Amino acid sequence: MSNKNHTLKTIRNSAIIKNPILFEAIGLCPVVAIAFSLKLAIFLAVVTAVELIVCEVLASKFLKNVRRYWRVALYTVFGVAIIFPIMYGVDKLFPDISANFGVYLPLMTVNSLIALHCERVAVKNDVKTSFIDAVSSSLSYGAVAIITGFVRELLGNGTILGYDINIPIKLPAFLMPFGGLLLMGFFAAALKAFIGVKYPEANPNKAFDTSEIRRSLRDKFVELMKDDFNPYGDTAEEDNIKIYVPKSKEEKEKKVKPKKEKKSKRNRKSVNENTSSPETTVVTEETPVEQEGNRTYMDDFSDMLSDLQEYKNKNDGGGKK
């Protein structure tokens, strides 16, 4: 029973609360550009589902010990192995679909949805969890694509699956990428309203971190390059990769490391009653994205703590002011 609940929670989180396309803004290109008819949207949903499930299962099975920089390339290789036979078959059997897809079908090999889910979930979990995550994410992605395709075809062409519905007014602008984005904005709002009613404790805003939008980009290139970059929302300290870290940061990490563990445990206790061991991380509410949202203040506090500790150590002998 607890396994079933856990599975349902995983599905709920990856499909609804952290909907990859509506809340994380991943994999927008095909939906915005291609899903302007129901037929194409169904095809897109099926192809994405097949690709995501196969890639996540293979990544979970074989790529855990591969360095991250090579994994990213291997996802593309998996994508090629899946997409190109499909392309060949579609070109022979459904040339109209192939023509409508245009350049977007080969672009599915580098869909950001695949890389993000494989990095975040597949390489950190077992095959079953990865499969469940892949299925739920692809279902949610497919649902968004199909609804978008349906509405765009209806409003833009006045047809459904190519059959004319005889609508008196048509809005051809919805067939363009602008229409796709606009509809996705309203779908995201509708889903958010639903989450607000059904799961009031959940916060879909955390899926898209906007804490850094006010930081200035006007800086020296070298300084900008020094900024840490975590596209998948996980920590920089990767296993099995030797990282070049400046000495000052190493020292700080050595000082702060034990306190960080204490803080994380306390925060977990105060925020969530359910604690899970770090080895068996699954896609729950305590996902790296949420931790990253808290880490911004915790990073500052860890620096403050180390400074205050030094100040205290200095003044303990000389007396406080």
Partner 1 sequence: MNIFLNLLSAALYVMLFQNLIFNGGYGLSEAVRMSAKPRQLLPMAVFITLFSTVISALCVLIDLFPLIHNLNEIYHALIYVGILLVVYIIAMIIANIIPKVQPATKRRIGIAAFNTLVLAMPLINYRSAFNVVESIGAGLGAGLAYIIAVILINSGLKKLDTITTISKAFKGTPAIFIYTSLLSLAFTGISGTSVFI
Partner 2 sequence: MTDTNMPQNLTEEFKRSVIRDYALMLCVPMAVAVFIHGFFAVINIAISLVTCWIFKSVGKKLLDVQFPPRTYHTFVIGTAVALLLPASAPWWIIAISASFAMGVCVLPFGSPENAPFIPSVSALCFATLCWPEEIYNYSDFGDSLGKMLLYGNSVDDNIIAILEAFVGSVPSALGTGCAMAFIGLLVFIIIRRPKDSIPVFTFIIAICLMAILFPRVATGRVVSVVMELCSGMILFGAVFFISSPFFAPKRTVAKFFWGFVSGIICMVIRYVCPFEEGACFGFLISCAVSDLFDGLPLTRKEKKQIKALEPYIEIVEPVPSVVPEEVLELIPDISPVEEIVEETETSDEETETINRESETLETVISEENTVTEQDAPFFIGGDSNE
Q: What is the DSSP string of 195-227?
A: HHHH-TT--GGGGS--TTTTS---S-HHHHHHS
Q: Which of residues 286-305 bind partner 2 (CB under 8 A)?
A: 297, 300-301, 304-305
Nearer to partner 2, 99 or 173 (CB): 173
Q: How far apart are CA 121 and CA 134, in angstroms?
A: 9
Nearer to partner 2, 98 or 306 (CB): 306
Count of alpha carbons within 13 angstroms of residue 235, beta-carbon side: 12
- What are the CA-CA distances from residue 65 to residues 90, 108, 117, 271 (Å)? 35, 25, 17, 33
- What are the CA-CA distances from residue 267 to residues 20, 261, 263, 274, 291 (Å)? 26, 10, 6, 12, 10
Nearer to partner 1, 92 or 321 (CB): 92
Nearer to partner 1, 212 or 273 (CB): 212
Q: Which of residues 166-205 bind partner 1 (CB under 8 A)?
A: 173, 176-182, 184-186, 188-190, 192-193, 196, 204-205
The 168-187 site mask, x for binding partner 2 (CB under 8 A), equals xxxxxx--x-x---x--x--
131 binds, among partner 1, partner 2, none (CB under 5 to 8 A by kind): none
**Residues 25 and 204 sit within 8 Å (Cβ to Cβ):** no
According to the binding rule CB under 8 A, does residue 276 interact with partner 1?
no
Closest distance of CB 152 from partner 2, Å: 13
**Residues 292 and 299 sit within 8 Å (Cβ to Cβ):** no
Binding site for partner 2 (CB under 8 A): 168-173, 176, 178, 182, 185, 189, 214, 259, 263, 266, 297, 300-301, 304-305, 308-309, 312, 320-321
